[in-house]
Structure 1
Amino acid sequence: MDIIGIGYLGFETTKVDEWRDYGPQVMGFQVGQSPASDPDSLYFRTDDRRHRFAFHPGKIDRLAYIGWEAKGKIEFEAAIARFQEHGVEITMGDAALCEQRGVKGVFRFRDPVGYQHEMFHGQKWMPRSFTPGRPHGGFVAGVRGLGHLVVITPQWPPELQDFFVKLMGFHYYGPGAGKGQTAFYRSKLNSYTSHDIAYGYGPGKMGVQHVGLFVKSLRDVGETYDIVKQRGIPMMMTLGQHSQDPHASFYHFSPGGFALETITELEPWHDDGFELNPEKLSTWGHEVVGPILGPSVRTPEELLEPELLAKYKQG
């Protein structure tokens, strides 16, 4: 499948007002205009797209959906046919959902773990329209998607790898350098970074572990780092550089309980051509100063709807 990367993420939250301050003042997001059909939700922009994040009022803080961007209409239609050929249940989005997402077409499906995904094409945008919520050099998105996502899986279904590699056409990048069972995947059209999505095994647990966002300079990383410290926001890891990526980053906890990794490229990433097996997570820094799994990671009973939970328990 010709997928660019993650185009947008949607969350349910009990903390809309906290996000409304945190998004622009800490991260530098622009508050976007909410669709007429969804006035109570909060939409954030990180570039010229209509939005990259949506926070919908809910009874719990959790990931609601992951939106994958197909390259265009033809690629989108080919993806529909491929899912249908492989017997994967999909639900086509109606005009109301397309309007809410700001796209020309969208369909929904679930992965073998139970996470809700969407695939879309033709998201609205306007050139040179992004205005950060505070002085900020800007985010790197566009042809690479908004960034990356790491989620926890309570089980390790054997069909997970086939779902991403054989069905969706993703590249398996390896398990990374972290402890435990993990899997990193990047989309077919992603030649800019090591992964779009990763799954980490946490027995009996699920939820978002962190979201990674790229910014344009080390100064943007440093200024965000200072704001986080000045506000006393808990961190997961200090500033450092991972062994598998030539990037500098740090992790702090968002109002949603998951970590945000603010990243800048020290040099362009390139495909190594082989599966890496780093001996340690980072070449310098990244001191662990908080929990690796924040309060966004909970039990399936807390995060899944009853019908989906029953299906999960059946296998």
Structure 2
Amino acid sequence: MAAVTKLAYMGFNVVNFEDWHTILFDILGLEQRADSPQGRTQIRYDEYHHRFTFIDSDQDSVAFVGWEVDSIDQFNEMYAHLADQGIGVELASDAEKQDRMVLELMKFKGPDNVPYEICFSPFHDNQPYTPSCPRFGGFNTGDLGLGHILYCHEDPKEAVEFYRNALGMKISDYIHWDEAKATFMHCNPRHHSIAVCNPCFGTGAGELNHFMLQADDIDDVGRAYDRVEQLNVPLILTLGKHTNDKMTSFYMITPAGFAIEYGYGGEEIHDYDNWDIELYNAPKIWGHNLVE
């Protein structure tokens, strides 16, 4: 079955990029490309040319979310597969491929009109990733992709079937707590590349709740948590550990209203045939206290 293999990149419309500087550079230590095109700021945190694009705009919103496949044959199969399912997929222009810095690109709308893309062969930079602060370490990406995202959808069951049937996702597990019912899905060994939830906790249908970046070193997460306190960066959840993927992380509120989860130690699924899909009744083992 045709399937995506990893989360590749994200683009955001932003009213004022300067409002993002503290989180992106002082907390996470990401690298801003000096050669970003006018009206756009491209951000790196591994060997890819860039993983994030911040686009000057009159609103704060998600501009696009890019998935990746590993071969041109997979790319062509995904295009035919989406078209066969009646999904309005279209090939991107050369200008759009240049903007994303990929060899091939297609675009389509997911549930609740989430702007998705699928690419093949993102460009790798010939210069190493250079953190904005020398003491920062690296991120766990590679075959695991960018990290993960959580979207809320009006009809979560229908959305889960879209991600399974259209993108080839596999269910990892579920968490039901308070008003939230979340399904976690993977497309590579990372425990989940996407989670789907009902609208809750202030996140509406078709809105991004958060995206996650995973550090290579738990000490990077601890030092970042110290800097959050020193720089008065607003949190939505304090440092804690999840029940399902065992990630130790905290959640920062961005200027756009959604959160960034920064963590370490997420569980991986290497043998799905022997993986137990479980239902958890709480998202945390410890910590992750809601900040009022």
Alpha carbons of structure 1 residues 20 and 285: separation in structure 2 relative to 1, 3 Å: closer
Aligned-pair distance for 1:20? 3.8
Matched position secondary structure for 1:74: helix
Q: Tell me whether 1:261 sits opposite 2:258 in the alignment.
A: no
Q: Tell me whether 1:96 sits opposite 2:83 in the alignment.
A: no
**Conserved? CA contact 1:245–1:269, under 8 Å:** no
Distance 2:241 2:157 in 1: 32
**Conserved? CA contact 1:246–1:269, under 8 Å:** no
Gaps of 5+ in 2: none
Q: Which residue of 1 aligns with 2:243?
A: 243
- Superposed, 1:1-315 pairs within 5 Å as 1-35=2-36, 38-126=37-125, 129-134=128-133, 135-153=135-153, 155-156=154-155, 159-179=158-178, 180-187=180-187, 190-193=188-191, 195-202=192-199, 205-206=204-205, 207-265=207-265, 273-290=275-292
Identity between Structure 1 and Structure 2 (%): 26
Aligned AA for 1:163?
F
**Conserved? CA contact 1:32–1:45, under 8 Å:** yes
Greater shift, 144-153 or 123-132, is seen at 123-132
Distance 2:71 2:232 in 1: 43
**Conserved? CA contact 1:246–1:268, under 8 Å:** no
Q: Which residue of 2 aligns with 1:309?
A: none
Aligned-pair distance for 1:169? 1.2
Distance 1:186 1:108 in 2: 21
Greater shift, 101-110 or 272-281, is seen at 272-281
**Conserved? CA contact 1:12–1:55, under 8 Å:** yes
Gaps of 5+ in 1: 291-315
Aligned AA for 1:237?
L
Aligned-pair distance for 1:208? 1.5
Kindly provide the CA deviation profile for residues 7-38 of structure 1, in whole angstroms up to 9, marking residues without a partner as x: 00011011212224531222110002455xx4
Distance 2:157 2:86 in 1: 17
Distance 2:217 2:126 in 1: 21
**Conserved? CA contact 1:113–1:157, under 8 Å:** no
Alpha carbons of structure 1 residues 147 and 94: separation in structure 2 relative to 1, 3 Å: same
Distance 2:74 2:276 in 1: 28
- TM-score (norm: length of structure 2): 0.90
- TM-score (norm: length of structure 1): 0.84
The count of corresponding residues between Structure 1 and Structure 2 is: 284
Distance 1:268 1:170 in 2: 15
Aligned-pair distance for 1:158? 5.3
Aligned AA for 2:4?
I
**Conserved? CA contact 1:47–1:138, under 8 Å:** yes
Distance 1:269 1:219 in 2: 24
Alpha carbons of structure 1 residues 21 and 236: separation in structure 2 relative to 1, 3 Å: closer
Give the RMSD, CA atoms, in angstroms: 2.0
Distance 2:194 2:184 in 1: 6
Q: Which residue of 2 aligns with 1:303?
A: none
Matched position secondary structure for 2:280: coil
Aligned AA for 2:279?
N
